[in-house]
Amino acid sequence: MSKILNVAHLGKTYTSGSKQLTVLDDVSFSIDSGETFAIIGPSGSGKTTLLGLCAGLDHPDAGTVELSGVNMGSLNEDERARLRNEKVGFIFQNFQLLPTLTALENVVVPLELQGAKNPTKIGKELLGKVGLTDRMHHYPSQLSGGEQQRVALARAFSNNPAILFADEPTGNLDQDTGDRIVQLLFELNQEAGTTLVIVSHDLELAQKCNYQLRLRGGKVISNEILIEN
Amino acid sequence: MAWRDSKASGGRLLLFTASIILGIAAVVSIQSFSENLEENIALQSKTLMGADFVIDSNQPPNEKVKAIIDSLGGADGRSVGFPSMAVFPKNGDAKLVGVRGIEGEYPFYGELETKPTDAAQNYQKSGSALVDATLMLQYGLSVGDSIKLGNSMFPIQGTLISAPGTSGIGASIAPPVIIPYEAVEGTGLIQMGSRVGYDFYFVAEPEQDLQELEDIVDPQLDVENADLDTHMSTAAQLGRSYDNFGKFLNLMAFIALLLGCVGVASSVHIHIREKLRSVAVLKCIGATRKQTFLIYLLQVAGMGLVGGVLGIFGGLILQQSFPLLLQGFLPFEVEISLVPQALFSGLILGIMLAVLFALMPLLNTWFVSPLQVLRVDNTKNPKSRKLQLWVVLAIIVFVFAFSFWLLGNVKYALYFVLGIIVVFALLGGVATLFMRAIKRFFPTSWGFTSRQSLLNLYRPNNQTSVLILAIGVGTFLISTLYFTKDILLSQVSLDTSENTPNLVLMDVQSEEKLEAATSIEASGLKVLNNIPIITMRMHQIKDRPVRELILDTTALQNRWVLFHEFRVTYRDTLIASEQTVEGTWPLERKDNGLIPISLSENVAADAKVKLGDTLVFNVQGVLMETQVAHLRSLDWARMQINFNILFPSGILEEAPQFHVLTTNAPDANKSASLQRELVRKFPSVSIIDLRQLFTVIEGILSKIAWVINFMAFFSILTGVIVLIGSVRNSKYQRIKENVLLRTLGAKSKQILRITALEYFYLGLLGGGIGIVLSLLGSLLLAQFVFETSFSPSIIPFVVVLPSIILLVLLIGMLNSKSVLQSPPLEVLRKEAG
């Protein structure tokens, strides 16, 4: 199976006042296409930073990230944006929907950015899959948290990504809603054959993935296979 | 607590302060300068007149006037003034000047400022002339050269820099030339038809009550077509004319301040909205309504105070620039001094307006429920709506009170407040309508970036309406000024066709008429008009003698018609600028022996006469009974020779008369050579070059427009600050949006385009609405105030609007730099945090 993500000796340091804060230190791992991968660890362990670097949202201070065979370090900001647009989907803890767009409009943003033809049709289909056909013309402020996250799910799959990064996807939801979202996330993932990378505190959610990477203080403390394919 | 809380929101509150600084600076500077001007006019009143009082008349004093002058101990000095052509032998050029022959030690106060300085003392003894400095410069003259006035040649003794009684604007049309009084006769320039002013100057006894003197003597002089003015009354009159302009500028500054206040309300609104949860927390832990309300009220009042103080400092600096700005309007130098009243009013305005405008959003803290800690509820409390109405009323009352204090007139203050409400409401209303229309008819077929930028106008905490209002008011002011200048200039515009006169020969005596016409034709030009002119005054209106009407303070006639020396012509045809309003044309004599005449509408209205009424004219000693048989409307929009009173042919042919000849010179060179030729042959003829006059008028209007534009600039600058404030207020929201788009794969170009287009729409909407409203306003102004047609200039559309859009775009993009450059991960971490 080909590697969709290859992370080697990744390091990231932030400067806070006069202090240097090492957030990630020599992190290496790789993910095969179609896998589900959980990054877990306590607060401040560097999970979100790692996710951001993997998605090319920032530059590492050390090491390399190869996404879909492309070294992210060799790309400029626009090239990385294009790569994300074509290969990557995102789900955030805070849903991150554009408040001025309706549910349907939010879902089709990645397609619109690509200049894709007939994005609305795809958007409607995806909203149907997440059970929001009757809410597609509502604005984020008119939707509940669970509904907003379902819109975000639909958006994440709209560009048919090769890899999907989910940052605490249930962090802002109650147990029942969170469970439904996770179920939906895995169903859609299976259907599309997308690689899924989840950052979470939720060990139960992490247990559902094939692989689990544990971080502490910016270092990998374990990288284990939970479920064999 | 207020202080601790404000430290956390320092940047936003600082911008809120900045939006009122400029307005206060403008108000303080203009108020201070107007006060300085008033003080200076009062202090320099004697210097401005050069005497304590003056008796003036536009005819040689008759026996009665002479007797009055003698009874006052005789004049201490006198002068005679008239327009005339001056020839400069050095280069052969000729130019219309204002000749003033002075006798005695005049001026008794102040001085004739000349270069060299002793020229003012020597010109009388040496029989030479003092010539206006600008004229000297324009025609390359220097001291020692000669100037020819009529039949006499005068050596130029000095350059005249300033003299009492020469106004800036009058001097630009006919620059002053001073010669000794005795030399006037020798010039031969005072002839029939000459517009001559005779002035007799007096120095009063120290204890003399000038007001009483004016009250007693002036009515006696009025009936003799003379007038007495004291230095005080002249200064008061001068003060009034500047005062009106000052008030106008003051109101413009006030508009800038009000605009800033809208910015304050908007900033405080967002500030408070973000603080509502903190307010709820405070209430949860036991803070009373009053305590939480006071925290933010004190913050706002503090910022108002800071804005007021900084505004005062700005105003003091600005005040220094006004003498420079108004150069050319002021006939004297203004000494700048501190005006405590203006400073105090600046401070009060800062605090009051900041608090009043901030009260509306502040009221939300009063009604915040502690429950909001648990659940944010955006529904408005009905009690808060009611209170907000009271606040709006308080703002209107305060604005009215301040306008009344400025204008001293309830009606005008009310008009101003209504005008402000209408413009603000229209701009706000049209902006809201536009926004709704865009939402309703959203251009779904547009590309993503165009649509997204349009949608950004509706983002949470957006200040689209406030921005459109700020940009709109600025554009509205500038465009209205531009259109008004256009309307005023179109009234005096010159028709360039060759059959339209642009050179007018005044005061051509009957015996010179033929030769003057021949000279014009010999130079290859056509004589377009040859109009006989007879001077006359009204002697009796209906059955009441004019002398009686002058003394009757309850008479309804406008007083100018009672004193005016009318220049009348006779003919049987109407010209293009005239239209019959009532009566029959041509004028036909009836059997009643009365001479049928035609009056212009405004003279008929001012003299309170209608068709069929009788008027008796004094035609140089001969009384003529006439009857109003025809009323005409006159189109003053063109520089044509129009007459208020027309006689039929066959009546005045034998009366002493002079002529006006007109021609069209195709270019400035031809015009100058003809003027030289004519002045050489006919020294007493005055020539008005309409092209030059038009340039002078255009120059004056441009100067006025510049000063007004300067004030409008404050509104624009305030708009800019409100714009910056708004960009800053929504900065975090923008960063979030852009980062999200970038995360989803948007390229820098796409994000840049979305941001740029958003500002483009704002500029286009605000500027566009401002220009359209200004177009409507100017149309109404043209129709009802100037009573003329209005063909708008294209300049506001092709220059003002694009400039405004560009400015908005530039400010928006510069302030969004950090938004565009924020690394995505940092923002996402913050969000997750």
Q: Is the pTM of this model over 0.90?
A: no
Q: How many domains does chain B have?
A: 4
Domain residue limits at B546:
527-663
- Exposure pattern of B628-659 as b/e (b: 16+ CB <10 Å)? bbbbbebeebbbbbebbbbbbeebbeebebbb
Residues B120 and B38 in one domain: no
Residues of A in contact with B823 (CB under 8 A): 57-58
Query: Residue B687 pairs with which residues in a beta bridge?
Result: B505
The amino acid present at B455, given as its one-letter code, is: L
Is there a contact between A96 and B831 if contact means CB atoms under 8 Å apart?
A: yes
The pLDDT of B251-265, averaged and rounded, is 79
Please report, in angstroms and rounded to a whole number, the separation of the first and last CA atoms in chain B: 27
Per-residue confidence at B379, pLDDT binned at 50, 70, 90? low
Q: Six-digit token pair at A108?
A: 């089709």
B101 assigned to some structural domain:
yes
C-alpha radius of gyration, chain B, whole number: 34
Cβ–Cβ under 8 Å, residues A126 and A157: yes
- What percentage of chain B reaches a pLDDT higher than 70? 90
- Which helix (DSSP H) or strand (DSSP E) does residue B503 occupy? strand B503-509
pLDDT at B629: 92
Residues 46-65 of A with CB under 8 A from B: 48-49, 52-53, 55, 57-58
Range scoring the smallest mean pLDDT among A155-159, B289-293, B317-321, B373-377: B373-377
Q: How confident is the model at residue B832 (pLDDT cuts 50, 70, 90)?
A: very low
CATH number assigned to the domain with residue range A3-225, chosen from the 4 options 3.40.50.300, 3.40.50.720, 1.10.15.40, 3.40.50.2000: 3.40.50.300
Residues B154, B75: contact at Cβ < 8 Å? no
CB contact under 8 A, B458 and A100: yes
DSSP string, B107-171: -SSS--EEESTTHHHHHHHHT-EEEEHHHHHHTT--TT-EEEETTEEEEEEEEEEE-TT--HHHH
Amino acid B741 reads L
Cα separation, B414 vs B405, in Å, equals 12
- How many whole angstroms separate alpha carbon B400 and alpha carbon B254? 11
Sheet holding A219-225, edge to edge: A88-91, A163-167, A195-200, A36-40, A211-216, A219-225
**Tens of pLDDT along B515-564?**
999 989 988 888 888 899 998 999 999 989 998 888 888 888 888 888 88
Q: Does B40 share its domain with B63?
A: no
User: For residue B823, what is the nearest residue in chain A, using CA coordinates?
Assistant: A58
Residues of chain B positioned with their CB less than 8 A from the CB of A101: 452, 455
Name the band, by pLDDT with cuts 50, 70 and 90, for residue A70: very high
CA B320 to chain centre: 21
Local confidence band at B598 (pLDDT 50, 70, 90 cut-offs): very high
B58 shares its domain with B162: yes
The answer to whether residue B500 is domain-embedded is: no
> Does B551 share its domain with B642?
yes
* Residues contacting residue B200 through CB under 8 Å, at least 6 positions apart: B54, B55, B56, B61, B69, B75, B77, B78
> Are residue B275 and residue B398 in the same domain, yes or no?
yes
Which 3 state secondary structure label does DSSP give B275? helix
CA–CA distance, B21 with B463 (Å, rounded to integer): 20
What pLDDT score was predicted for residue B603? 92
Instruction: Answer whether B826 touches A (CB < 8 Å).
Output: yes
Mean of per-residue pLDDT scores for chain A: 87
Please indicate, yes or no, if residue B254 is contained in any of the structural domains: yes
Residue B614 has pLDDT above 90, yes or no: yes
The Cα B736–Cα B747 span in angstroms is 15
What are the residue ranges spanned by the domains of chain A? 3-225
Neighbours of B621 (CB within 10 A): 6
B315 pLDDT above the threshold of 60: yes
What is the predicted pLDDT for the residue at B7?
A: 59
Q: Residues of B with CB below 8 A from A145's CB?
A: none
Lowest mean pLDDT among A123-127, B338-342, B459-463, B780-784: B459-463
DSSP state of B622: E
Q: Are B147 and B179 in contact (CB under 8 A)?
A: no
- Region of B290 (left: φ > 0; alpha: ψ -120 to 50; beta: rest) is alpha
Closest approach of chain A CAs to the CA of B378, in angstroms?
12
Find where tokens 């993932």 sit: A189
Q: Say whether both B338 and B458 belong to one domain.
A: no
Residue B821 has pLDDT above 60, yes or no: yes
Give pLDDT tens digits for B42-101.
Answer: 777 888 888 899 999 888 888 888 999 999 888 889 999 988 889 898 888 888 899 999
Residues of A within 8 A of B831 (CB-CB) are 92-94, 96
Domain match, B481 and B619 both = no
**CA-closest candidate to residue B608, choices B559, B563, B643, B565:** B559
What span, in angstroms and rounded, lies between the C-alpha atoms of A69 and B665? 84
pLDDT reading at B462 higher than 80: no
Identify whether the C-beta of residue B62 lies closer than 8 Å to the C-beta of residue B655: no
Query: Per the domain annotation, does B619 fall within a domain?
Result: yes
Q: B174, B203, B232 — which closes off a domain?
A: B203
- The per-residue b/e assignment along B667-682, b for 16 or more CB within 10 angstroms, e otherwise, is eeebbbebbbbbbeeb
- Using the Cα atoms of residue B66, residue B68, residue B69 and residue B74 in order, give the sign of their dihedral: positive
- Same domain assignment for residues B196 and B142: yes
Q: In chain B, which among 393-452 make CB contacts under 8 A with chain A? A: 448, 452
Q: In whole numbers, what is the pLDDT of chain B averaged over residues? A: 82
Answer whether B828 sits within 8 Å of A48, measured CB to CB: yes
What percentage of chain A exceeds 70 in pLDDT? 98
Give the pair of three-digit tokens for residue B190. Answer: 């005072």
Residue B727 token pair: 């960009």
| Confidence category of residue A196, pLDDT binned at 50, 70, 90 | very high
**Please, which pLDDT band fits residue A179 given cuts at 50, 70 and 90?**
confident
Nearest alpha-carbon partner for B156 in B186, B114, B189: B114
Structure tokens at B571: 């003919």
**Do B289 and B401 lie in a common domain?**
yes
CA distance B59 to B564: 11
Please tell me whether residues B109 and B175 are part of one structural domain.
yes
Count of pairs with CB atoms under 8 A, one residue in A, one in B: 90
Does B824 contact A81 at a Cβ distance shorter than 8 Å? no
B569 and B703 inside one domain: no
Q: What is the pLDDT of residues B658-696, one digit of tens each?
A: 899 999 888 888 888 888 888 888 887 888 888 777 777
Distance separating alpha carbons of residues B644 and B600, to the nearest angstrom: 5
- Distance of alpha carbon B774 from its chain centroid, rounded? 17
In whole angstroms, give the CA distance from residue B821 to residue B815: 11
* pLDDT tier, B833 (very low <50, low <70, confident <90, very high otherwise): very low
CA distances from B244 to B34, B237, B238, B241, B391 (A): 10, 11, 10, 5, 31
- Residue to mutate among A96, A118, A139, with most B CBs inside 10 A, is A96
Are B453 and B389 members of one domain?
A: no
Radius of gyration of chain A (CA): 17
| Residue B494 pLDDT > 60 | no
* Range of A31-45, B286-300, B324-338 with top mean pLDDT: A31-45
Q: Report which secondary-structure segment, H or E, holds B435.
A: helix B410-440
Residues of B in contact with A85 (CB under 8 A): 744-746
- For residues B301 and B314, give the distance between their C-alpha atoms in angstroms, rounded to a whole number: 19
- The structure tokens 């002011």 sit at B477
CA distance linking residue B683 with residue A107, whole number of Å: 89
Q: List the single residue in A81, A83, A167 with the smallest CB-CB distance to B746.
A: A81
Q: Which residues of chain A neighbour B456 with C-beta distances below 8 Å? A: 100
pLDDT average, residue stretch B711-729: 75
Tell me whether residue B683 is in a domain: no
DSSP one-letter string for B98-110: EEEEEEET--SSS
